[in-house]
Amino acid sequence: MRKFIIKRLLISVVIFFFVALILYTIMRCIPTSFVESQARQLSQLPGAKSYEEWLAQLTEMYNLDNTIIEGYFSWLWNSIRGNFGDSWYWTRPVLDVFADSIWYSFALGAITFVLQIVIAIPLGILAARKQYGMADYVVTVIALIGISLPTFFFATLLKYVFSINLGWFDLYGIVGRFYDQLSPFGKFLDMAKHLVLPVATLTIINIGSLMRYTRTNMLEVLNSDYIRTARAKGLSESVVVNKHAFRNTLIPVVTLLGGSLPGLFSGAMITETLFQIPGIGYVSYDAMVNGDIPFYMFYSSFLAILTLLGMLIADIMYAVVDPRVRLD
């Protein structure tokens, strides 16, 4: 196990090196340029220097006058030393901007993740047990709705019904207008209320694929020889499903869930933008469209590291739940 983990970590370092290089190259080549937009704004001030002069000065100031390879290695060396620089767009340290927004996204992602497991896996197993029955058809319809509906459509629909028509929730924001006047517990309830619609949006959109995945795996397991043998011995259906089939059904599901680690921190860009939640997805979108290379490189690298760790965790969990798998 230790040799496998060390080998995977070394491979992950190599993969991260090239992934970060690709990300940096893309950020340097995208049409949106923070330096150009700043030079354009400064050149329009009364008595200001020309656009070309401002562009040359800002390009040198932000170290964009070097090649992409030189800029990448400069960023990589500073990052290894823990110096991630300041955000160009927010003019604050990158870590401060990240820390202010990541926990909103983590709360949103963690709640959605738990609800996804609690709802999708039992419904997927129920659909498999009642194959071609009413329960199976209902679960299939729910899954197809979740898979088919775009996030922005479902979020807009929820806002129209529960915010505009019924008035139960605010249209946007993470807190209400009287948040500062509330007690600590009242602030918690107010923030939780504002997360209801975003969580509902992400949960319904995400449970569809997991329900179908669980149903497919359960059907495959229920048709196995050892399940037929268990039934032939006279075991009850609940014992057959809960004791013999359930664990083997979870083998691929656990692997899938192990790779969900980045989703807890990546934020939901569309959902956070629609509901104006200042999470990491919303902030990273602003960084990307404004050409904020320091922040977006830190955010993208953070997600790349989480993805590599998630894949490693998924492989380890696969070996834990399936004794037949050996990690050498």
What pLDDT digit, counting tens, does each position of 109-149 carry?
888 888 888 888 888 888 888 888 888 888 888 888 888 88
CATH superfamily of 100-321: MetI-like (1.10.3720.10)
Q: What is the pLDDT of residue 306?
A: 85
Spatial separation of the C-alpha atoms in residues 110 and 264, rounded to whole Å: 6
Domain assignments of the chain as residue spans, ordered by start? 34-83, 100-321
Using an 8 Å Cβ cutoff, are 232 and 267 in contact?
no
Looking at residue 326, its pLDDT comes to 66
d(CA 321, CA 235): 23
Q: Is the pLDDT of residue 253 over 80?
A: no
Query: What value does the mean pLDDT take over residues 33-51?
Result: 79
Instruction: Pick the range with the lowest mean pLDDT from 41-50, 166-175, 228-237, 249-258.
Output: 249-258
- CA distance linking residue 253 with residue 188, whole number of Å: 33
Q: Mean pLDDT, to the nearest integer, of 227-245?
A: 79
CA-based nearest residue to 73, from 25, 6, 1? 25
Buried b (16+ CB within 10 A) or exposed e, 222-233: beeeebeebeee
Kindly state the tokens that stand for 172: 């946007």
What is the structure's pLDDT at 18?
93
User: Which pLDDT score, from 0 to 100, does residue 258 have?
Assistant: 65
DSSP-derived 3-state class of residue 93: strand
Under the banding of pLDDT at 50, 70 and 90, the label for residue 77 is very high
